[in-house]
Structure 1
Amino acid sequence: MTERPSNPAGSPAELAAALRSTGYLADDGLATAAYLAMQMNRPLFCEGEPGTGKTALAQALAQVLGAELIRLQCHDGIDASQALYDWDFPRQLLHLRALEAAASATGETLDADSVEASLYDPRFLLARPILRALQTSPSVLLIDEVDRADDEFEAFLLEVLTEHAVSIPEVGEVRAKEPPLVVLTSNRTREVHDALKRRCLYLWLDHPDLQREIQILHSRLPGLPERLAAQVAGAVRKLRQSDLLKPPGVAETIDWARALQLVGARHLDVDSAAATLGAVLKYREDADRIRVQLDTLLAS
């Protein structure tokens, strides 16, 4: 198995500190799981509710490693060709026409085999995320919301993540010189098969507790008043305990605090909350329901 070169974090504690420098606050369990994924050359499977920082973790790891972040967004119906490669048909067609024009001008006869070989030259290959990750060093491959894909795509991923290589009939095998660090995320809309999970190290991400979310706000929004940070984090915590269509994640917490900063709020009250509610709630039904409960929501 190809080994990934040593990374700048020599221990889970050092990795946590490096992640903190990017604005991502990792607890001991998360830092240890990410550290082991790098050292053991294993994909990291991150599962949890939307908005718990799964995608942001991959982004932060890419910054820490000085690696290119390459993202594959999964969706219903995604197949291997969308993840691997395609051929640039317009450029191939222009190339063919150029060959035909040159042959016509010189009176030469085109050799069919030579023409076909030239059409499938690597310069006409369009690398999709997985192929790009195999060709790029160093890289972090984020396979986002893998639970949206189907069983067939999972089987394809399992093979690629095991071999760190793909075969292109017209070109041959493409094997990673340095395997990418792979982060898979799932919002658990369905269960991902055990075979894929067994290939990975598993990490469950939950919403941060109150104090950690306050720390995240201060990390992302320097100068945020202490009282406002505590009020926003506390209010979001209550929102998550409400029966909402879309409970807010950490990103919405940050957006809300930033919106309050921009309107000049020094603390969270009914008026400022109502004016900026669109930063934290994304469905009209949720906003309408909470707007009439703001007094209760903001009560200590």
Structure 2
Amino acid sequence: MCPSRRPASAASRPLHRGECQGVALAAVFTAPSTTADVSAALTKHGYLPDEGLSTVVYLSLTMGRPLFLEGDAGVGKTELAKVLAAWIGGDFIRLQCYEGIDAAQALYEWDYTRQLLHLRTAEAAGRAASDAEAIEDELYSERFLIRRPLLRAIDHDDATPAVLLIDEVDRADDEFEAFLLEVLSDFTVTVPELGTITAAQPPLVVVTSNRTRDVHDALKRRCLYHWVSHPSVEREVEIVKLKLPDVDGALARQVASAVSVMREMRLYKPPGVAETIDWATALGRLGAAELDTPMLEATLGTVLKYREDTQRVTSVGMEMIMAAVAEA
């Protein structure tokens, strides 16, 4: 059996990443044999990948490497991690990055409020001063350890690997990137009061970036990289039909064509696939048989999220959009 925790003073060799991975995966999750298997599995779980994405997911699963997905917001990077977790049957653990995030917020911290209550309870119970060392050991036990996403993924003891999503890493700062690089290198964390915790079953890691800033090469080199583009009109139609089977195919094509034009208009926030699906859902709820000008103007709020974008579309883009809709 592969140990999940070793005391900090243990002399035994470290458990290296991947030593137990093949056994656990073979027992619970059958790794795909081809990229076609990946495509079929993702499609079955509601995600329609292109060939490039299926290939990089296949390589990530078979090589045991983190997956770095970069692209505009809304192209499906986060959704892929969720679908991977549903596919393999593992826990989905999400670390949402933001400006100022630090190691404690990502890894672990101590529950100081409960520790203080425990200390006061011990005092009220009249525990002698000779028990001070025992009380201190109790305070810094796993009972009071708050596991944040990274530690939860590393200390995950299920036979099926967890899927760890490190979302929008470009929002974090350089120091946090360096910290992530260290953690992802061997999936080992040292909690001084408890010892060294090494992943018995390394998680499947998906790192995403909206490219609001450049992520350092050192982190990217640790991963398999893939740029996730907006889908073509044809593939977006397929995505809408997969997600919304009740939506008329002609309407789905009109919506996808209109969104494609909007993405070429240099908007502040071009619509993503999620907005396309929302728009098609809204039109279906309104009973629209087709996308005409009045319906387009009335429902722009489901696909555009900034006033400036709405003004640009209504002032200079309506003719182009309706021309694309007419050709769809």
Output aligned runs, 1:188-199, within 5 Å: 188-199=211-222
- Quick check: 1:103–1:109 contact (8 Å CA) kept in 2? no
Distance 1:296 1:154 in 2: 43
Distance 2:209 2:52 in 1: 18
Unmatched segments (≥5 aa) in structure 1: none
Distance 2:217 2:129 in 1: 56
CA apart distance, 1:181 = 0.2
- Quick check: 2:118–2:139 contact (8 Å CA) kept in 1? yes
- Quick check: 2:69–2:228 contact (8 Å CA) kept in 1? yes
Other structure's SS at 1:237 match: helix
Q: Residue type matched to 1:121 in 2?
A: S
- Quick check: 2:42–2:87 contact (8 Å CA) kept in 1? yes
Which of 132, 140, 151 aligns to 2:163? It is 140
- Aligned partner of 1:276 in structure 2 is 299
- Aligned partner of 2:138 in structure 1 is 118
- Quick check: 2:68–2:224 contact (8 Å CA) kept in 1? yes
Other structure's SS at 2:56 match: helix
CA apart distance, 1:237 = 0.2
Distance 2:100 2:129 in 1: 44
Which of 198, 202, 213 aligns to 2:236? It is 213
Output aligned runs, 1:56-205, within 5 Å: 56-103=79-126, 108-136=128-156, 137=158, 138-205=161-228
- Quick check: 1:146–1:185 contact (8 Å CA) kept in 2? yes
- Aligned partner of 2:318 in structure 1 is 294
CA apart distance, 1:109 = 3.4
- Aligned partner of 2:3 in structure 1 is none
- Quick check: 1:270–1:295 contact (8 Å CA) kept in 2? no
Coordinate RMSD, CA, aligned? 1.3
Percentage identity across paired residues of the two chains: 56
Aligned length in residues: 297
Distance 2:303 2:130 in 1: 63
Which of 42, 57, 60 aligns to 2:65? It is 42
CA apart distance, 1:110 = 4.7
Distance 2:276 2:297 in 1: 15
Runs of 4+ aligned residues of structure 1 deviating over 4 Å after TM superposition are none
Distance 1:290 1:198 in 2: 40
- Aligned partner of 1:26 in structure 2 is 49
